[in-house]
Chain A
């Protein structure tokens, strides 16, 4: 019954790996947002100029 900490570690692993992957997706989404903003400002420039 002393194996509870291994179970805890394994279970946490699932969450940590999943979390790390979601962070990766978040980062990419954020970068995408920045790129979109940049594109928007470029379009505005073209329309203005």
Chain B
């Protein structure tokens, strides 16, 4: 029931965000129409980091309480973090080509995102292929904590490495008020999308583990 309601709200929010990005905001003067990528590139990046933070929370809570729901949160959030990360890593170069002239520059923010992305892809792969079902939540939790601790270090190291390559604006200063509003609408929509998908993915994981348990019970009987 609640999730149906969230679906409708999400649907409405997406329509509003679309209208805001394509009809409402003025075209940016320097970059032109391509700047509109901003409205889903940046919220995707924020959603990815929010998801990685959820992995961290889920991991800590799992080790403390050993309740499966926290592990489901960590796993689901990691999948969605990787999904949003992928959106960032594809839309980034598509924005870079017309503005910087090439698809890929080893520019600090893009590089950091790429490294962070690979860390969480590795997290998912190790959980999928390496760990036995009984140990996956525990080992996943250890990885989830270490991975999140690494994020600020990745940013620091990459900044040291290529500070002179910095092409992203330091902060989004000087956005017109309309752009500012549209940005917040897009943030809200993307966060809602993230939470909704995490909830759906967690529910799926819960049913999956229930089926596994049922099967074991049946086999034992």
Interface flag for B36 (CB, 8 Å) = yes
Q: How many residues of A contact B (CB 8 A)?
A: 23
Bound-state CA distance A45–B7 (Å) is 40
Known: A3-B33, A28-B208. A13 touches B218 (CB 8 A): no
Contact flags A1-16 to B (C-beta < 8 A → 1, else 0): 1011011011101100
Q: Which residue of A lies closest to B41 (CB)?
A: A10
Bound-state CA distance A42–B93 (Å) is 52
Pair A46/B221 contact, Cβ less than 8 Å? yes
Interface SS, A side: helix
Residues in A whose Cβ lies below 8 Å from that of B33 = 1, 3-4, 7
Interface SS, B side: helix
Contact flags B187-217 to A (C-beta < 8 A → 1, else 0): 0000000000100110010011001001100
Interface flag for B157 (CB, 8 Å) = no
Q: Which residue of B lies closest to A13 (CB)?
A: B90
Pair A3/B40 contact, Cβ less than 8 Å? no
Residues in A whose Cβ lies below 8 Å from that of B200 = 25
Known: A7-B36, A32-B204. A13 touches B91 (CB 8 A): yes
* Contact of B218 (CB < 8 Å), options: A1, A9, A18, A43: A43
Bound-state CA distance A18–B90 (Å) is 13
Pair A25/B94 contact, Cβ less than 8 Å? no
Interface flag for B26 (CB, 8 Å) = no
Binding site for B on A (CB under 8 A): 1, 3-4, 6-7, 9-11, 13-14, 17-18, 21, 25, 28-29, 32, 35-36, 39, 42-43, 46
Beyond the given A36-B211, A39-B218, A42-B218, please list 12 additional residue pairs across the A-B interface where CB-CB is below 8 A: A3-B33, A7-B36, A9-B94, A10-B41, A10-B90, A10-B95, A11-B40, A14-B44, A17-B83, A18-B87, A21-B197, A25-B201
Binding site for A on B (CB under 8 A): 32-34, 36-37, 40-41, 44, 79-80, 83, 86-87, 90-91, 94-95, 97-98, 197, 200-201, 204, 207-208, 211, 214-215, 218, 221
